[in-house]
Structure 1
């Protein structure tokens, strides 16, 4: 059976690196816990074009330097060891496929599929893969996935903490693991 897992903010703990990069670029002093929305352009009052241009010069560095979210590796390993097929489904641009694969391997994150979509629309990919559960931190993605019939665990982050969610919300990978164990039968 297949489980989908988002990458940035769910497995790769990149928020502080993103905030640091944007702080330097915009002359601000925010910390990750102050980010109240997923759209960093609104938080930093910059255009999408300016954000894209900045990421073209900094994103690879952020990808390579991101640490693993606490306990993500251990619980993903447990799921894989129980026979779950782990599909990493991310909005990253496909040009980052190789460094993303290397990051996952270097950090011992098991996966059987790596899907870089260059889009936040993950519904079709999840449906095509037969994903039984998705772990996601972007509230807008979670709404879309749930509406499309994909059970979704919302991994809590500063940018989704104040949004209403009529589904399962988890603060830790232990909670995610327990939810999957409780709700899904292979």
Structure 2
């Protein structure tokens, strides 16, 4: 008989499903009078990229993680439709985010508001952020025990962790901050969801009764 083998897919939130960081230059300009273009955000350290003091960055970080701010993000073009199509094909979606655990409720509300399909919602302490509730977020080591057939990320460090440490074929969505990401056989740089979509195919395995 023929049977379908679903794939389990890891999908990050910020800058993968949610148009997040592109909103930050306007916030910094409005709050601090500093002009930094999105294309100049060439590192994952936003404090350095925006040239903020410790106090300024804390204020900025708290501001952009408030529920009202998070709920205002638009979905990345093609993301929701691709995830719906994969789900319709029988594949399994896990939303895996490194957001602070304080954003759990707002993030789930945003996913529901934008009709994002998923099986599991997993918060991971990707960046060792102080204040995370470790009852809500798992460690990267715990994540490494999970099995995925494909991952979609924008963080160069997490993409390499998935590709190298976990052996997961990983689509790295091209962003200014991951231009210098180390190459790896399991890592494919993609400009958009149109390029990511073909990485998941319907696979029908032949079996016998």
Give TM-score, length-normalised by structure 1: 0.87
Distance 2:173 2:35 in 1: 25
Q: CA deviation at 1:20?
A: 1.7
**Separation in 2, partners of 1:9, 1:154:** 11
Q: Give the aligned partner of residue 131 of structure 1.
A: 148
In structure 2, what is the equivalent of residue 80 of structure 1? Answer: 87
Q: Distance in 2 between matches of 1:125 and 1:112?
A: 18
Does the C-alpha gap of structure 1 residues 185 and 91 become closer, same or farther in structure 2, counting only changes over 3 Å?
A: farther
Q: CA offset at residue 128 of structure 1?
A: 3.3
| 2:157 corresponds to 1:140 | yes
Alpha-carbon RMSD: 2.4
State the number of aligned residues: 185
| Equivalent in the alignment of 2:183 | 165
Which structure shows the higher helix fraction? 1
Match runs of 1:12-23 below 5 Å: 12-23=18-29
Task: Choose 1 or 2 for highest CA Rg.
Answer: 2
Alpha-carbon contact 1:18-1:62 (below 8 Å) kept: no
1:31-180 equivalence runs, <5 A:
31-47=37-53, 50-60=56-66, 61-120=68-127, 123-148=140-165, 149-166=167-184, 167-180=187-200
Change (3 A) 1:164 1:119: closer
Offset of 1:48 from its aligned partner? 5.6
In the alignment, is the contact (CA less than 8 A) between 1:2 and 1:129 conserved in 2? no
Q: Name structure 2 gaps, 5 residues minimum.
A: 1-6, 129-138
Q: CA deviation at 1:120?
A: 3.5
Provide the rounded CA distance (Å) in 2 between the counterparts of 1:50 and 1:181.
46
Instruction: Give the conservation status (yes or no) of the 8 Å contact 1:88–1:111.
Output: yes
Higher mean Cα deviation, 117-126 or 75-84? Answer: 117-126
Q: What TM-score does the superposition give when structure 2 sets the normalisation length?
A: 0.78
